[in-house]
Amino acid sequence: MLNGIGAAASRHSVFARACVAVVGVGASLVTHQALASYEVMAVTNGGTIDGSVTLTGAAPGQAAIKVSKNQDYCGQTIPDPAYTVDSSGGLANVIVYLKDITKGKAAPAEPLALVNTKCMFSPRVQGAMVSQQVKISSDDTVLHNTHPQNAETNATIFNVALPFKGFSVTKPLPTMPMMIKVKCDAHEWMHAWIMELDHPYYATTSADGHFTIKDVPPGTYTLAVWHEVAGEKSAPVVVAAGQTVKPKITLAAK
């Protein structure tokens, strides 16, 4: 049922759609150009996708991250969170999203949160709408900088200093859908990912690999998953009015 699809191919389709949107609107666009391809409407008879992502095969042994600076604050080692798997194989930190959905519920009103805490980013991965605000904060006494880059081109989106504990700042994400890799230059092991989409139908798996996407207009869609190491996969999903569909998705350990 689930067909593996190359990581590059599926990422390009998001990007290609964004390019088409830009060309279509023309040179006068300033913001929200990518939203032109998504139309907000009231969803009264939506269905729910309530599924799970499981890792098949043993998660590769992960050496702890060796802390190379600020050990007095950050500690000597930090567990590598790349594969966070529970006792029954549920895989956390997987982004699950619909492809090619052009109409539906409104964008989330709240900004995203990205916290610098104990010399790591939290959350590790999350989805976002294009142009959504992200509130970046620090719980740490050491200096961090939050430096999101376009994951394909490495181009800097912005780079903001978080010089002391308790500081926070809210910034807008780009107006085009893209995969964003966030780094802290001051602590080279710190990474986070934000998948920016032009619609709000996405979720991130919890500690037991569970995810829920609500208020989906009835129809057939492509459900895609992304994990930072295990890669990408997609399969068709049929959503019926007022019903819950429970896809069980597996990703192979790499």
Site string for another protein, 65-104 (x = CB under 8 A): ---xxx----------------------------------
Choose the binding region for another protein from 43-51, 53-61, 137-145, 230-238 (rule: CB under 8 A): 137-145
Closer CB to another protein, 115 or 223, in the complex: 115
- Beta strand pairing status for 160-162 and 39-40? unpaired
Choose the binding region for another protein from 2-10, 22-30, 75-83, 104-112 (rule: CB under 8 A): 22-30
By rule CB under 8 A, what count of residues binds another protein?
33
The residue type found at 236 is: P
Contact between 36 and another protein (CB under 8 A)?
A: no
Greatest alpha-carbon span in the chain: 55
Closer CB to another protein, 136 or 239, in the complex: 136
Q: Could you say which of 45, 56, 62, 159 contacts another protein (CB under 8 A)?
A: 159
Contact between 1 and another protein (CB under 8 A)?
A: no
Contact between 15 and another protein (CB under 8 A)?
A: no
Q: Could you say which of 162, 178, 195, 203 contacts another protein (CB under 8 A)?
A: 162
Contact between 37 and another protein (CB under 8 A)?
A: no
Q: Give the closest residue to 223 by CA, choosing from 94, 70, 92, 97.
A: 97
Contact between 164 and another protein (CB under 8 A)?
A: yes
- 107, 132 Cβ separation under 8 angstroms: yes
Contact between 156 and another protein (CB under 8 A)?
A: yes
Q: How far is the CB of 82 from another protein (least distance, A)?
A: 19
CA–CA dist 116, 143 (Å, integer): 10
Q: How far is the CB of 165 from another protein (least distance, A)?
A: 11
Q: How far is the CB of 171 from another protein (least distance, A)?
A: 8
- 195, 179 Cβ separation under 8 angstroms: yes
Q: Which residues bind another protein (CB under 8 A)?
A: 22, 27, 29-30, 33, 68-70, 142-143, 145-147, 149, 153-164, 167, 169, 171, 185-188
